[in-house]
Structure 1
Amino acid sequence: MAGNHRDWVAKAIARIEADFNRSSDTHLIPIELPGYPGIDVYLKDESSHPTGSLKHRLARSLFLYALANGWLHEASTVVEASSGSTAVSEAYFARLLGLPFVAVMPHGTSPEKIRAIEFYGGQCHLVDSACGLDEASRRLARQSGGHFMDQFTYAERATDWRANNNIAESIFRQMALEPHPVPAWIVCSAGTGGTSATLGRYVRYRRHDTRILCADPESSVFFDYYAGAMRGHVDASLSLPHGSRIEGIGRPRVEPSFIPGCIDTMVKVPDSLSLAAMRHVSARLGRRVGGSTGTNFVGVLYAAQCMRSAGQTGSIVAILCDGGERYAHSYYAAVWYDRNGIDVVDADAAVVAALEGTDLELAIAAAPT
C-alpha cells in the first residue's frame, strides 16, 4: 500500500511539474508616474497565469507541499477556505490530479469566481461570515476523509523562498536589464501573507537593498498587527466582525502566514482610494484589473513620494494580482458603489493629483518603521 501511494505521489508531482514547464513566466509591465521623474514603476502581471491570478503560484506550492508531506492520496477530497482566487487555482490543480475539490467561501463572493471554480470541476460551499471559513473547512475535510489545504497557515512555508522560480526570483531576473535593476521598493498586499514573506525573505537572503511595502485594505487587521509589532506589542488576538471589501486581500483576524518581520513598512488604504487606483491602472493598461492591484498602486504612490522626498531615484515593482473580469458585478458596476456608499469622484481626483505629485499622506495611514 505504501509503495502504491508513493507511486501515485510521484506521478502527481510529475504532472504538476509538467504543467509548470508548459507555462511561461508572467509579464513585467512598465507604467509611468508623471509627477516622479527618475522613478521607474513596473507591474508584475500575475493575471497571465493559467488561472488568472497571483494565487496560481500559491496553489501550485500548496499542492506540492501537501504531496511531499504525504497529506494527499488518490482518493482525497481537497478542501480550501478562500474568498475566490486561491480556490480557482486549487480547483485547477485538483482537476489536474483527478481529485474532487470543495471551496468554502463567504456569501457575497463574486459570481464570476464561483463560475470559475465550477468550470474547473470544483464545488462551492458558502458560509455566512468570513470568520467561519476555517471551522467549516475542517468539518468538511473530516466528513469527507479529505484534506484541508489551509492556505492561511501554510502559504509562507509552502513556497521555496530561496529559488524555484518564486515571484521574487522572477522579478529580479526580469529587472536585470532595466535602468535600475534592483528595485528600491517592491509593493504587495497580504491575503495569506505568503507573498510578502517570500519577497521579504528573498531580498534578505540575496542581500538586496530592496524594501518591502505591504498595502492593507480598509477592513483588515494586518496593519494594526504590524504597527503593534513594530512597537514591541504583538497582539495576535486582533479581529474584526467582517472581512475586506477588496477581495483576496486583508483579513478579519491575524493569520499564521503573515510574518511582520519580513516587511519594511505598511500602509492602510481606504477602499475608495484602492478602487480609484484600480480604475486608473485599468485605463492605463486598456484592460480591467482587480481591486487589490489598486491597493498596491496606492502603495506605489506612497513609496514614490518617500523616494522623492529623500531625493532618490530608482525603481518600484508592484504586484498586479488579477484581472478585473471577475468583478464585473461589483467594482465595475455603479450600483455596487451606491449600495456600499463608496466615493468615486473625490477618490478619482485624489489619485490623479497624486500622480502629478500631490501628497497622499492625509488619505492613508503609514505604520512606524
Structure 2
Amino acid sequence: MSQEQSGSRPARRKRPRRQPVFDPVAQRYSRRICYEVEEIPIEEASVDEIKGDEDTPHIILRFSLNTTEKEIYDRIWEAPLLRHRTFNWELLGTLGQAERVRTLLGPRWATILRFDRTQYVKLVHEFYATFRHKTGDLFSEHVVLFSLGRQLFEMSVPRFAVLTGLYTEEEVQTSAFTESVRGYTLGTRRYWITSTDLAAFRSTIAEGPHASNAVSSAIRDPVHRYIHIVITSTFVGRQSGHDKCSNLDLMCLYSIIGQHDVNLATLLLSSMGRGGRRDESVSARLPLGHIISQIAAALGVFEKYSAAYLTPGLDTEVVNVADAKKAGMCTYEDPPRLVDARVSAGAGSSS
C-alpha cells in the first residue's frame, strides 16, 4: 500500500543546515582582556593621550599586569615590523616568466602576496599580544581570537578567511574550503598531510633528502627558487634565512607549484602563530602587518583609530635583481638572462 493510499504523509527530506559564517547575535566571548586604564573616548582625548609616549604605551596596549597579553607585549614591544618583499614583475617580464608565475599563483595567492596595504606598528603589536589559534573544528566561534583597536574578536576560521579577503562568504561554505588540506602533521589526521607527503613532494622539485636544514638552492627550477624567496619574505615572514626551506615553506610550494588544494586561511593562521614567539635575545621582525591591516579595515577598526592615532611601518619592496642573481635565478649579464633549470637525476638522459 502506498503512502497516499494509507493516508500517511511522505517523509520529508531534511535540508542540509547552512553553517553561518558569523552570527554576531550568537557571539559569546570565551575570554576577556584586562587593561590597566579605562579606554578614553576618541572625541574626548588628544592624539598624544591615545598614542602615549616613551614611558606610556598606546592606549590599545595598556594591558593589566600579570596577564598573558602583558607578558607577550613586554617581549615584543621593541620588535620592529618586517619589511616584506614581493614579486618584481618588471624583472619577471624581462626574463619572460611573468605569465608563468601568474598562472602558478592563481588569483588567491596573487592577492595575498601583494602586501600593498599600510602596516601599523601598534596594531601589529596588539594583534600578536592577543592572538590565539586553536586548531580543530573550522566552524567553532572560538577558534581564532585576537584584539584590534582594543576590541576583542572571536571567530571561526571561515569568518577569519572572509576578513582577510582570501575567500568570499560563498566560497567558505563549499567543500573546496572545508575539505582542502589544512596543514602538515607528524601523525595521521584528516585533511592534513604528513611530513612523508611533504618529502615526496619535495623530491619532485628539489635535490637531496628532506630535512629541517634543507637549503633552497636545492630547488631545481630557478623560477621556483624565486617564488620561494617571495614566500619567505611575505607569507612565512622571515627576516633572514631565505636560503632555508622549512616545512611551512614547502606547504606553500605544495599549493603553488604542486597545484594542490590547500586551505590558505589555516595556513595563514599557522604562520601568524609564529609571530609572537620571540625571545628577547632574538632580533626577529614582526610579520604580516599588511594582512593585519586588511583584517582591521574589514572590522571597522580604522573608523575609530584612524591613521592619525597610529604609526605606519615599513613599505613593501620587491625582490630585486641582486637577490635573484644570488639565488641563482638569473645570470649576471645586463640585461639578466634566466638560468636553465637543473634536470632531476631520475629524469633520464632523454629529458
TM-score interval for Structure 1 and Structure 2 normalised by the shorter chain: under 0.3
TM-score (norm 2): 0.25
TM-score (norm 1): 0.24
Q: Which has the larger radius of gyration?
A: 2
Structure showing greater relative contact order (alpha-carbon pairs closer than 8 Å, 6 or more residues apart): 2
**Greater percentage in strand:** 1
